[in-house]
Every structure is written in C-alpha cells, then in structure tokens.
A and B are shown apart, each in its own frame.
Chain A
Amino acid sequence: MNFLDQFTSIHLDVLKEIGNIGAGNAATALSSLLNKKVDMKVPDVRIVSFNEMMELAGGPDNVVASVFLRIEGDAPGSMFFILSLQQASRFIQQMLGDSSLSLDNPPYDEMALSALQELGNILSGSYLSSLSDFTKLDLYPSVPALSIDMVGALISFGLIEFSQVSDYAIVIDTALNEDDHHPTESVKGHFFLLPDPDSFEIIFRSLGVSSYE
C-alpha cells in the first residue's frame, strides 16, 4: 500500500490542528519579540510532490532565509522557518534597532545572522513546546541552523526522510504576516513542519486518533 493512502480527512484535520496550536504560539512569541501585531493564517495541510513543496515557498530558485532544525525525541521530524530576505531584514532591524542592517547582499553581518538564528530558535522552540504539551510527546529541537540560499536547495534537505518512502510529503504550512504590511506573496513567513514518515502514527496515537483503518 502506498504510504500516503493511509491518511483520511480526519488525520489531515488533526495535523491542521497541530499546526494551528504550534504556529499560534510561535506567532505570539514573534509578536511579543517585535512588539507588534502578527497575523497568522489558518494552517494548510497538504500532500504535495517535492516540486510543489518548493513552489509553496516561491519556487526552487527563490532566495530565502531559512532556519532549519531537526525534531528529536518521540516523533522525529524536520522544521523550517522560512522568510523572504526583505522580511528577514526587517525583523532584524526591529530586533536590533539598527536600520542599516540588511541581508540583501553577502557578506552578511554576523550580528544580523545571529539575531535571525535566535529568532528562529525562539519561534520554533515555542512551536515545538506547545506541540509537545498538546501531544504529551517528548520532542526536542536540535540547535537550529541558518542558511540563506535557494529554496530548492534548502527544502530538499528536509525531504530526505520522506524521499525514502515516497515522492510526496505531508507538509503542515502556516503563513505569518506582520499586520502593518500589505500581504503580498513574497513577504510571507512560513513554518513548515515535516514529521518523519514513521512519526505520524505516533502523533495520531498520542491524540487518541486511531491510525490507519
């Protein structure tokens, strides 16, 4: 049986709720860090081909700033926090109070990179800890790594686990927007949560949803 045929709409709803709770907490953390309102979209749970996954973040050639971490513990997986370069620059300027910092051209400022990594750390940490409370699973984030590069190059790394069982991935995608900026496609922040294939059953069981009929 194909790995992805096992999922029903109930399963996808459960995953959506997971994204909702996790990203909700992360958005709150972001909001208090920047001291401004942050809008969050209702999460999307999608079963996508690897190419479609790249399109979600603006196409494989699009250059973005991404914080990546591995989730370790009961239900391993990968997590990306992806920002456009403009948005990342703006966040850094707001956090550090220095409007001269930008990520438009390398070499990037050490302080700016470090701030962005910390931002990713705090947000993904709050995402994961709420997820961990909700599911009663032990989930530990690895130390996050930051990279500024093409979407395709970055995301394919998170798809390695999936690529061993399927050509499709299940992605829990939540888009974030600052309130006072016009939401255009290019300035959205994304959380991508990619549980490893074996983790789905563990997550469903922890929430009392019988897996796979």
Chain B
Amino acid sequence: MNMVKAPDLIRTSGLGSCVGVVIYDQVKELAGLAHIMLPDSSLAKGGLLNIAKFADTAVKELVNQLIQNGSRTYALKAKIAGGAQMFQFANSSDLMRIGPRNVEAVKHELASLKIPILGEDVGGNSGRTIEFNPKTCILKIRTVNKGISEL
C-alpha cells in the first residue's frame, strides 16, 4: 500500500488473483494504491495482522491515509484491476475462486464507503501489471497476451 502525488506514477507488477485498487482525488493529484491478496481480514490466523493485504482493512486504511494527506472524501474515485483466475482447475474450491472473491470484497468495501468505481478490468485468466498516473488519472494495464490497455 502506497501513496503518490503527481508527477510521480504508482505501479504494481504481476497481479494475478490479487486486486490492485487505486483510489484518487483528481484535483489534488493524489492517489493511493493497495495490493489486495485476500478478501477478508477474518481469514488471518493469529499473529500480526498486515492490514495492507485484506480487502476490508486495506481499502479503509487507504482512504484514511488519502484524507490525512489532504484528499477530500467526497472527491475520491476508484479504479480497480486484477482478480484473475490464473489456473483452471476442474474442482473449483474456495481457494481456487480467490480472484473473484477478492473483486467482490473490494467492490463491497468501496460501495460501503460510497466511492464510485470509474474503471475496472477484473477477472479473466491473465496476469496484469498496472500503473496509475495521478495527473491524468489514467490506469495503464499491461497483460502478457493482450498488450497495453488504458482505463
């Protein structure tokens, strides 16, 4: 989880079942990115909780940090990418469905915070590398087979 201010860019490489969530305030040119591995912090077993990897805790924390850095709650928008199913298995247990579950959880969390999703590229079965420019608010998505697309 990290924050960036224009003209810097923020990126994360090799998103598979993980979901990359970008939350931004266009006027302040401020954006934050979280790399979500798991849908819910209740899945954590003991030990220290790394809030950056669970959908429910990471989205909240990202919003908090954005606001601390001067973003305005009402101006926040989101773009999301990832949540692919990298391997196709005959028996789709819960573990195998982790990508779609991450996407559902992220959307649920954003909805409860009333942050609109202005662009999404989720699901499918290829890995993604994403890069966000807080100035233009364009999310660049690169996949191995389909090249680069923009949201």
Binding site for B on A (CB under 8 A): 2-3, 54, 59-61, 63, 68, 70, 106, 142-143, 145-157, 159-161, 163-167, 197
Contacts and interface: CB of A to CB of B under 8 A. Distances in A.
The B interface, classified by DSSP as helix, strand, loop or mixed, is loop
B145 interface: yes
Nearest to B98: A160
Interface in B42-57: 43-48, 50, 53
Given A156-B18, A156-B37, 7 more contacts: A142-B89, A149-B126, A150-B13, A150-B144, A157-B16, A157-B86, A167-B53
Contacts of B37: 156, 159-160, 163
B14 A2 contact: no
Contacts of B118: none
Interface of B: 13-18, 37-38, 43-48, 50, 53, 84, 86-91, 95, 98, 125-129, 144-145
Contacts of B91: 142
A153 B44 contact: no
Nearest to B102: A160
The A interface, classified by DSSP as helix, strand, loop or mixed, is mixed
Nearest to B15: A153
A153 B47 contact: no
Contact of B87 (A2, A54, A68, A150): A68
A145 B87 contact: yes
Contacts of A145: 87-89
Given A60-B13, A154-B16, A157-B16, A164 B87 contact: no
Contacts of B89: 70, 142-143, 145
A60 B14 contact: yes
Contacts of B50: 167
B110 to A, nearest CB: 21
27 contacts: A54-B14, A60-B14, A60-B129, A63-B144, A70-B95, A142-B89, A142-B91, A145-B87, A146-B87, A147-B87, A150-B13, A150-B14, A150-B127, A150-B144, A151-B14, A152-B16, A153-B86, A156-B18, A157-B16, A157-B87, A159-B37, A160-B17, A160-B37, A164-B38, A164-B45, A165-B47, A166-B47
Contacts of A164: 38, 43-45
A166 B53 CA distance: 11
Contacts of A163: 37-38, 53
Contacts of A54: 14
Most buried by A among B16, B43, B125: B16
